[in-house]
């Protein structure tokens, strides 16, 4: 159990340029200010396997549960991301990342602005989601928000239900 930690980035676990690691953990009640309160994959972290319960994490900026920035070919499977909060990406925040696979439950997260469940920004390509995304809330994109510069060719499947947006009626 990894809990009650504070950091600027990755207060639960931070994988920096990390390759081929496996994470089985409970990551809860952590606080961060910039990226990844629960888990932060950064700087070409690739081919990592994540199977974790990530909940009750809080961050000021992006990725209450997980932030994946500039990383690729990671697998998040069988994980639960719940009850976390952020300004952007209550459950998961991705930026400049590609070919990641997420097959997990993402529920009861909230963001102030974008992507209560998932926010993908700025050059996210070929990511695959086959997840249950339920009861997340945000100003824009209660379940999922794909936004900003060239995010394309992402595949989204699974169940997306009872998410709430408070600002727009159009998800981009």
Q: How far apart are CA 163 and CA 145, in angstroms?
A: 12
Among 147, 83, 92, 140, smallest CA distance to 121 is for: 147
d(CA 9, CA 116) in angstroms, rounded, equals: 19
Across the range 102-114, mean pLDDT stands at: 96
Q: Give the tens place of pLDDT for each residue, 58-81.
A: 999 999 999 999 999 999 999 999
Higher pLDDT residue, 118 or 152? 118
Q: Give me the pLDDT at residue 171, please.
A: 46
**How would residue 150 be classed by pLDDT, with cut points 50, 70 and 90?**
confident
pTM (predicted TM-score): 0.94
The mean per-residue pLDDT over the stretch 8-29 comes to 97
Cα gap 123→152, rounded to integer Å: 7
Return the DSSP state at 140.
B
Q: How large is the average pLDDT for residues 92-117?
A: 96
Q: How far is CA 93 from the centre of its chain?
A: 4
Structure tokens at 78: 């069988």
**Given this model, what pLDDT does residue 49 score?**
97
What is the C-alpha to C-alpha distance for residues 56 and 49, in angstroms, rounded to an integer? 21
Tokens of 57: 């994490």
Which two tokens mark 25? Answer: 């953990």
d(C-alpha 113, C-alpha 132), whole Å: 21
């Amino acid at each position: 159990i990894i809990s009650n930690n504070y950091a600027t980035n990755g207060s639960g676990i931070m994988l920096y340029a990390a390759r081929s690691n496996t994470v089985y953990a409970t990551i809860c009640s952590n606080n961060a200010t910039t990226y990844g309160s629960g888990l932060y994959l950064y700087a070409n972290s690739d081919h990592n396997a994540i199977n974790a319960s990530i909940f009750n994490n809080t961050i000021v900026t992006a990725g209450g549960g997980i932030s994946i920035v500039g990383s690729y070919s990671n697998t998040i499977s069988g994980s639960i991301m719940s009850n976390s909060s952020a300004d952007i990406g209550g459950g998961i925040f991705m930026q400049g990342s590609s070919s990641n696979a997420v097959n997990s439950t993402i529920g009861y997260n909230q963001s102030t602005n974008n992507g209560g469940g998932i926010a993908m920004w700025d050059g996210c390509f070929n990511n695959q989601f086959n997840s249950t995304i339920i009861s997340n809330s945000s100003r824009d994109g209660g379940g999922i928000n794909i936004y900003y510069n060239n995010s394309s060719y992402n595949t989204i499947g699974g169940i997306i239900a009872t998410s709430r947006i408070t600002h727009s009626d159009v998800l981009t």
